[in-house]
């Protein structure tokens, strides 16, 4: 097999997979056919394809072929999980709730007894149906990756293939947990006393989404203004939020739709979908700006760039651009200019920003703990003994008591948690670089728009640490992100 044939076949496969993810994730198609799609491109699963990618010297191509092998191997598990999730429902205090709606209801229910019952049912029913499947899925991934990387130690194999320095990142994440422990405990206590009404020691995971729901400000974030607001703000930067029609937004309510918003490219840069399921308030705006960041990044890629730069590479980069946009929704000036927050009473923006900052540090700490846990999980046999470590680490980091049951479902395959953590670091680098060059209100400056567009055009040709250096930062760290949050939590 030559490189040209490999890439041609690969692009067709990525397009077909993208379309299938879009249709099934959006609830437009109930019978996922990932296995069938992989099998139409079975040639990419052969040793010859891996040898060709390796010989090309392009690390992203080699990593991608490994991902395809993993993807094909785990497709039957993913399909069974998707099918089950779309059908499953929960019985909670006399109500029937679709499994995929549980997260939305947890976020929107002020009734604590209901939340706790719902979360317990979600955890128990999900664990009974899916934990066996997830265990087999994770074990299959580890087997494929270790074999192809020629390293039985999975964590090291992933680090070698992806070029991510997982040990250094884990060290930074551990330091983050330690350095922000008091700051977080104090701020979380102040927020939850008010919103949840129980002492900090009694908080459980069922409280977390509600604690950060910030529903007191919903009126300032009407769902029907979201898209227009984004179009307006991007236009101020000289950017087109829908990239001349390359980006399609799907925000309709539909029964089989995944609760988690996603962006999926089908043809890069020409056909990109942004799917979300609005559930109310600031969170919708933040999610929308995040997914829009992905969509604009894919749609901005120079179409003459090679396949591996348009489609592949370090996903910390696309996540970093997604976070660059979603973090605007935490910015005081942006909130005052682009949302109805300007009409709120004095101090409204400061109140909201406090809640969002606690939520932000919660997420950062949750992912820091997830990375440590997942590194440990992948060195285990994925057995139930890991449930305790999961509950312990996540409870300690977040301040909400976790049950162990989610120990296999709350895992991002392929160490995606590491990509998110690196993206947080990249976002802080990008934002501070933009402020330095174009001032605090760079988000309405056409010169900043041109600068960001130029950064997005290469796609993921360079890894996140190189992109950080392109905006004049020495590399990736949590220092800037934490320094920005600290005054908001005081």
**Helix or strand (DSSP H, E) at 320:** helix 315-326
- Closest to Zn ion by CB, 318 vs 339, is 318
- Closest to Zn ion by CB, 61 vs 322, is 322
Q: Do 147 and 391 touch, CB atoms closer than 8 A?
A: no
DSSP 390-407: HHHHHHHHHSSBPPGGGG
> How many Cβ atoms are within 10 Å of 40's Cβ, its own excluded?
14
How many residues of this chain bind Zn ion (CB under 5 A)? Answer: 2
Least spacing, CB of residue 60 vs Zn ion, in Å: 19
Least spacing, CB of residue 322 vs Zn ion, in Å: 4
Alpha-carbon span 394 to 196, nearest angstrom: 19
292 binds Zn ion (CB under 5 A): no
- Closest to Zn ion by CB, 271 vs 319, is 319
Beta-bridge partners for 272: 247, 265
Interstrand relation of 89-92 and 271-275 (parallel, antiparallel or unpaired):
unpaired
- Closest to Zn ion by CB, 59 vs 264, is 264
Sign of CA dihedral 326, 425, 166, 403: negative
Candidate segments 90-98, 122-130, 190-198, 313-321, binder of Zn ion by CB under 5 A: 313-321
Q: Which residue is nearest to Zn ion (CB)?
A: 322
Least spacing, CB of residue 326 vs Zn ion, in Å: 8
Least spacing, CB of residue 387 vs Zn ion, in Å: 27
DSSP H helices, 47-196, are 47-55, 59-87, 102-108, 112-149, 154-162, 166-179, 181-195
Least spacing, CB of residue 240 vs Zn ion, in Å: 20
Q: How many CA atoms lie within 13 A of 87 on its CB side?
A: 9
Q: Do 425 and 388 touch, CB atoms closer than 8 A?
A: no
- Closest to Zn ion by CB, 293 vs 404, is 293
Q: Do 141 and 77 touch, CB atoms closer than 8 A?
A: no
The token pair that represents 15 in the structure block? 């397009």
Minimal CA–CA distance to 338: which of 236, 256, 412? 236
262 three-class SS: strand
**Helix or strand (DSSP H, E) at 370:** helix 348-377
- Closest to Zn ion by CB, 354 vs 416, is 416
Least spacing, CB of residue 291 vs Zn ion, in Å: 7
Q: Do 386 and 409 touch, CB atoms closer than 8 A?
A: no
- Closest to Zn ion by CB, 65 vs 317, is 317
Least spacing, CB of residue 30 vs Zn ion, in Å: 25
Candidate segments 16-24, 274-282, 315-323, 410-418, binder of Zn ion by CB under 5 A: 315-323
- Closest to Zn ion by CB, 97 vs 322, is 322
Least spacing, CB of residue 116 vs Zn ion, in Å: 29
Site string for Zn ion, 317-336 (x = CB under 5 A): --x--x--------------
- Closest to Zn ion by CB, 322 vs 377, is 322
Q: Do 189 and 362 touch, CB atoms closer than 8 A?
A: no
Candidate segments 214-222, 302-310, 311-319, 399-407, binder of Zn ion by CB under 5 A: 311-319
Q: Is 200 exposed, middle or buried (0-12, 13-18, 19+ CB in 10 A)?
A: middle
Least spacing, CB of residue 294 vs Zn ion, in Å: 6
- Closest to Zn ion by CB, 292 vs 397, is 292
Least spacing, CB of residue 319 vs Zn ion, in Å: 5
Contacting residues toward Zn ion, per CB under 5 A: 319, 322
């Amino acid at each position: 097999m030559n490189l040209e044939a490999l890439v041609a076949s690969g692009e067709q496969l990525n397009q077909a997979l993208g379309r299938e993810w879009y249709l099934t994730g959006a609830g437009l198609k109930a019978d996922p056919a990932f296995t069938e799609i992989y099998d139409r491109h079975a040639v990419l699963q052969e040793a010859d394809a891996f040898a060709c990618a390796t010989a090309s010297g392009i690390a992203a191509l080699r990593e991608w072929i490994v991902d395809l092998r993993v993807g094909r191997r785990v497709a039957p598990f993913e399909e069974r999980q998707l099918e089950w999730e779309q059908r499953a429902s929960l019985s909670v205090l006399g109500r029937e709730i679709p499994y995929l709606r549980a997260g939305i209801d947890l976020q929107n229910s002020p009734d604590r007894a209901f939340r706790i019952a719902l979360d317990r049912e979600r955890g128990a029913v999900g664990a009974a149906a899916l934990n066996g499947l997830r265990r087999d899925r994770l074990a299959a991934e580890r087997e494929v990756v270790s074999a192809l990387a020629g390293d039985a130690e999975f964590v090291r194999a992933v680090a070698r293939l992806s070029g991510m320095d997982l040990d250094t990142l884990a060290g930074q994440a551990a330091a983050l947990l330690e350095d922000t422990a008091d700051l977080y405990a104090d701020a979380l206590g102040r927020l939850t006393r008010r919103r949840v009404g129980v002492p900090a020691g009694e908080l459980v995971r069922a409280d977390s989404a509600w604690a950060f729901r910030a529903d007191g400000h919903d009126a300032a974030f009407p769902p029907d203004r979201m898209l227009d607001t984004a179009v307006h703000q991007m236009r101020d930067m000289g950017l087109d939020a829908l990239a001349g029609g390359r980006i399609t937004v799907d925000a309709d309510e539909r029964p089989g739709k995944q609760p988690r918003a996603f962006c999926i490219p089908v043809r890069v840069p020409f056909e990109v979908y942004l799917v979300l399921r609005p559930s109310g308030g600031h969170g919708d705006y933040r999610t929308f700006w995040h997914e829009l960041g992905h969509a604009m990044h894919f749609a901005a890629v120079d179409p003459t760039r090679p396949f591996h730069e348009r489609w592949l590479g370090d996903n910390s980069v696309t996540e970093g651009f997604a976070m660059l946009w979603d973090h605007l929704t935490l910015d005081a000036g942006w909130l005052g200019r682009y949302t109805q927050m300007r009409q709120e009473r004095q101090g409204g923006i400061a109140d909201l920003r406090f809640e969002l900052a606690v939520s932000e540090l919660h997420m950062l700490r949750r992912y820091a703990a997830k990375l440590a846990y997942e590194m440990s999980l992948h060195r285990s046999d994925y057995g139930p003994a890991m449930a305790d470590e999961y509950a312990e680490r996540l409870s300690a980091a977040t301040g909400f008591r976790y049950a162990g049951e989610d120990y296999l479902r709350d895992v991002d395959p392929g160490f995606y948690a590491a990509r998110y953590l690196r993206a947080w670091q990249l976002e802080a680098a990008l934002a501070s670089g933009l402020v330095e060059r174009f001032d605090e209100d760079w988000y309405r400056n056409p010169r900043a728009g041109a600068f960001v567009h130029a950064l997005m055009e290469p796609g993921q040709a360079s890894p996140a640490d190189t992109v950080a250096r392109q905006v004049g930062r020495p590399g990736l760290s949590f220092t800037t992100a934490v320094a920005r949050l600290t005054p908001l939590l005081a």
